[in-house]
Structure 1
Amino acid sequence: MNVVIAIDSFKGSMTSMQAGLSAAAGIKRVYKNASVTVRPLADGGEGTVDALVNGCGGRMTQVQVTGPVGRPVVCQYGIIDETNTAIIEMSGAAGITLVNGEEKNPLNTTTYGVGEVIKDAIQNGCRHFIVGIGGSATNDGGVGMLQALGFGFLDKNGNQISFGAKGLQNLESITTEHVLPELKDCSFRVACDVSNPLCGEQGCSAIFGPQKGATPTMIMQMDKWLAYYATLAREQFPHADAKYPGAGAAGGMGFAFLTFCNATLESGIKIVLDETNLRQYVQNADIVITGEGRLDGQTVMGKAPIGVAKIAKEYSKPVLAFSGCVTKDAVACNAEGIDAFFPILRVVVSLEEAMHTDNAMTNMADTVEQVFRTIHTFTTVSK
């Protein structure tokens, strides 16, 4: 038997590899001679760096950068030396989890640290970038990141505008003469799973601003400032498009990458599946296993397990999914390529107990074992 496993992380409980290796252990209890391949999985958000580093033979490194509220933070990122590729999660340098409750204020939070991480990776020889931009604390249009890379966002006196969205109110000109020269040789695949434009009713300020601490007044101000920023950018970069789907991602970071960098916005799961070359492994599998922490109706909206299932179905492979919990509307997954799914929780326990890593790994192995014992029983009977 040849089984390929690609399970997304169970947030706060198991990493992708821990979940996959636990499932593999359960299979091996039944099919001792089975060929079981565990591949890392992520959807472009949390866990993407680990997944791609594990899946592509990379290494982890770290750098101290400017955090979203100005305090230094240490950001981990991955490097794949073979392809000179850096794998970065924006949240490691400008994430909302780095901001204390009373500090949540998009007028002040900056993406400058993200640019510092990119700069460090360039100095380490990287020219290709995979960047996850989920979980940001910012709404500065990516200007902080660009400032760190040498772009000038200047006020009427020729000085760099201040950090945060509030700096945009003083923006008068954009300059490029001090941009890091290596940037022109760099390419960026940006994991983006939202389609919001930069401005307007569906723009980043209106839709994502409140969760970052924005008041209704702030939202109106930031939307106006970002619109002017986009107009100035278009004067120098004619391809700048504030209405492009995803331009409003991560407080306008999508717009910054598209306009000022050689970037594409892509589905996070597509990037991960491409880079880890899952298709190559699935082709010869007898069974494909996937899953995530919570399987529900939202899973079919482009989440990682469905990405795995779609590849498996290209080769008519059966797909089983295992999850920490399963909701009633998870039945939608059956129509999207997941043939059967199973919750791994085996007894009634507290959420804390269920999410404890050792318990979750044990539950995964035990549940997968019983499912494969069922497969073995019916395979034997059919013979």
Structure 2
Amino acid sequence: MPGPAAPRIVLAPDKFKGSLTAPEVAAALTRGLRRALPAADVVAQPIADGGEGTVEMVLAAGFTARTCTVPGPLGEPVPARYALRGDTAVAEMAAAAGLALLPPPGPTEETALRATTLGVGRLVADALGAGARRIVLGVGGSATTDGGAGALVGLGARVLAADGRDVGPGGAALADAVRLDLAGLDPRLAGAELVVACDVDNPLTGPDGAAAVYGPQKGATPAAVARLDAALARWADVVAAATGADRRDAPGAGAAGGIAFGLAGVLGARLTPGVRLLTGLTGFADAVRGAALVVVGEGSLDAQSLRGKGPVGLAALAREAGTPVVAVAGRSLISADEARAAGLDAVHTLTGIEPDEARCMREAAALLEVVGRRIGEGLRAGR
């Protein structure tokens, strides 16, 4: 067991968006730490909160990769990878309906109106066929605003217009929806638990809803946002009529274009914070117990982080185990008092070394090595 000369340090960074993946951040910190503490027992556990990197995170923890072909956000076939261990599957919505899957020039008003979560439903169906009875879905990075209607269709439901025809794909088409037919829903869902890793509390509709808040980053113009919001309101009416409950205002219903609404409102999916859920699947709590230090991190530490996302969510878990926590960030927009209140003993930023943010992004790996060395030197000195 490592003694004082060989402390155990757990590295649990998220990605530095636009610069490095979470594993790359952990690798750079490791190189720096080993310069100061060559004998340190460095345990790398890169994390994700339900967005990009979620599947990679659990694969590193012993899950097995599976790939299936599903319709992409505009209906074209795409290979979608997910992770499976025993009867638990972990998937990313982005693998089937992500912004990165849109063809050049990327998100436009048309894609914002048309993009569908159909492939997400097919991905869940594939996992059920592989024996999964607990399916965890990370919902970051979506190109869609269809309230989860496409995912339900992918699982056997039908969304019908007044003339009895199926409505088309995408959020805008929901303006024509009048009835949700669940007779053909995949019967395997009855014996499965569906969990949505969700770190936002937006409702489905309105000024804080899926279309208004997230639509613009998916290509929606103000006119398209209004059109999508009205269509989602119609969709909420249809779901309420079919299920007997109106969940449009539930916290988190607007996550990822409203897929959380569709999966929770119709299938009974449970919405839960992504960090705590996913670290539970990777043994994070066991890794931090007895460690000398936990290092968390992300590209920008800000007000959104303070709501329990990413580093702050991990810090809470580490503090529960009695382990000190420091954060590494490209930049920090929170005060020292806010950091301490969030359970962070210190915050190390790349901008504290190199004030030019563009250069920080270009040279993030080298700067993280410097930060890692400084953290190691502080630990060696007992600071």
- TM-score > 0.5, shorter chain as reference: yes
Give the one of 115, 138, 162 matched to 1:156: 162
Distance across 2 between alignment mates of 1:161 and 1:324: 45
Decide whether aligned partners of structure 1 residues 184 and 340 sit closer, same or farther in structure 2, where only a CA change above 3 A counts.
Answer: same
- 1:338 aligned partner: 344
1:69 aligns with 2:74: yes
Flag structure 1 segments of 5+ consecutive residues without an equivalent.
none
Contact 1:297 1:329 (C-alpha < 8 Å) held by counterparts = no
1:364 aligns with 2:374: no
- 2:212 aligned partner: 206
- 1:324 aligned partner: 330
- 1:86 aligned partner: 89
AA in 1 matched with 2:379: I
Distance across 1 between alignment mates of 2:174 and 2:215: 15
Decide whether aligned partners of structure 1 residues 15 and 331 sit closer, same or farther in structure 2, where only a CA change above 3 A counts.
Answer: farther
Decide whether aligned partners of structure 1 residues 163 and 23 sit closer, same or farther in structure 2, where only a CA change above 3 A counts.
Answer: same
Q: Report the CA distance between 1:213 and its aligned residue.
A: 3.2
Contact 2:175 2:235 (C-alpha < 8 Å) held by counterparts = no
Distance across 1 between alignment mates of 2:345 and 2:172: 50
- 1:229 aligned partner: 235
Structure 1 residue matching 2:112: 3-state secondary structure: coil
Contact 2:350 2:360 (C-alpha < 8 Å) held by counterparts = no
Q: Report the CA distance between 1:228 and its aligned residue.
A: 2.9
Q: Report the CA distance between 1:75 and its aligned residue.
A: 2.2
Residues matched between the structures, number: 374
Decide whether aligned partners of structure 1 residues 216 and 347 sit closer, same or farther in structure 2, where only a CA change above 3 A counts.
Answer: closer
- Per-residue CA deviation, residues 215-252 of structure 1 (Å, 9 max, x unaligned), is 44444443333223222222331244222111122222
- Aligned counterparts, 1:247-266, within 5 A: 247-266=253-272
- 1:22 aligned partner: 28
Moved more, 329-338 or 276-285: 329-338
Q: Report the CA distance between 1:170 and its aligned residue.
A: 2.2
Distance across 2 between alignment mates of 1:108 and 1:213: 11
Distance across 1 between alignment mates of 2:323 and 2:172: 52
AA in 2 matched with 1:163: P
Moved more, 346-355 or 10-19: 346-355
Q: Report the CA distance between 1:258 and its aligned residue.
A: 0.7
Give the one of 101, 114, 125 matched to 1:98: 101
AA in 1 matched with 2:90: I
Q: Report the CA distance between 1:255 and its aligned residue.
A: 1.0
1:303 aligns with 2:309: yes
Distance across 2 between alignment mates of 1:246 and 1:41: 21
AA in 2 matched with 1:325: R
Q: Report the CA distance between 1:284 and its aligned residue.
A: 1.0
Structure 1 residue matching 2:213: 3-state secondary structure: helix
Moved more, 334-343 or 29-38: 29-38
Decide whether aligned partners of structure 1 residues 214 and 276 sit closer, same or farther in structure 2, where only a CA change above 3 A counts.
Answer: same
Q: Report the CA distance between 1:344 and its aligned residue.
A: 4.2
AA in 1 matched with 2:339: C
1:243 aligns with 2:246: no
Give the one of 136, 140, 144 matched to 1:138: 144
Contact 1:2 1:35 (C-alpha < 8 Å) held by counterparts = yes
Distance across 2 between alignment mates of 1:297 and 1:249: 18
AA in 1 matched with 2:116: T
- Aligned counterparts, 1:144-223, within 5 A: 144-223=150-229
TM-score by length of 1: 0.88
Identity across the alignment (%): 35
Structure 2 residue matching 1:247: 3-state secondary structure: coil
- Per-residue CA deviation, residues 128-163 of structure 1 (Å, 9 max, x unaligned), is 111111222222111111111100112233322111
Contact 2:179 2:242 (C-alpha < 8 Å) held by counterparts = no
Distance across 1 between alignment mates of 2:251 and 2:241: 20
Moved more, 146-155 or 93-102: 93-102
Distance across 2 between alignment mates of 1:153 and 1:334: 49
- 1:277 aligned partner: 283
Distance across 1 between alignment mates of 2:222 and 2:371: 48
Distance across 2 between alignment mates of 1:242 and 1:328: 32
Contact 2:109 2:221 (C-alpha < 8 Å) held by counterparts = no
Decide whether aligned partners of structure 1 residues 102 and 233 sit closer, same or farther in structure 2, where only a CA change above 3 A counts.
Answer: closer
- Per-residue CA deviation, residues 72-130 of structure 1 (Å, 9 max, x unaligned), is 22222222x22x22222112221223332446443211111111211222222222111
Aligned CA RMSD, in angstroms, stands at 2.6
AA in 2 matched with 1:59: T
AA in 1 matched with 2:100: T
- Per-residue CA deviation, residues 12-67 of structure 1 (Å, 9 max, x unaligned), is 33332332233233333333333322222112222112112213x11223222212
Distance across 1 between alignment mates of 2:299 and 2:308: 15
- Aligned counterparts, 1:8-19, within 5 A: 8-19=14-25
TM-score by length of 2: 0.88
Q: Report the CA distance between 1:190 and its aligned residue.
A: 0.6
Q: Report the CA distance between 1:210 and its aligned residue.
A: 3.1
Flag structure 2 segments of 5+ consecutive residues without an equivalent.
1-6
Structure 2 residue matching 1:37: 3-state secondary structure: strand
AA in 2 matched with 1:376: R
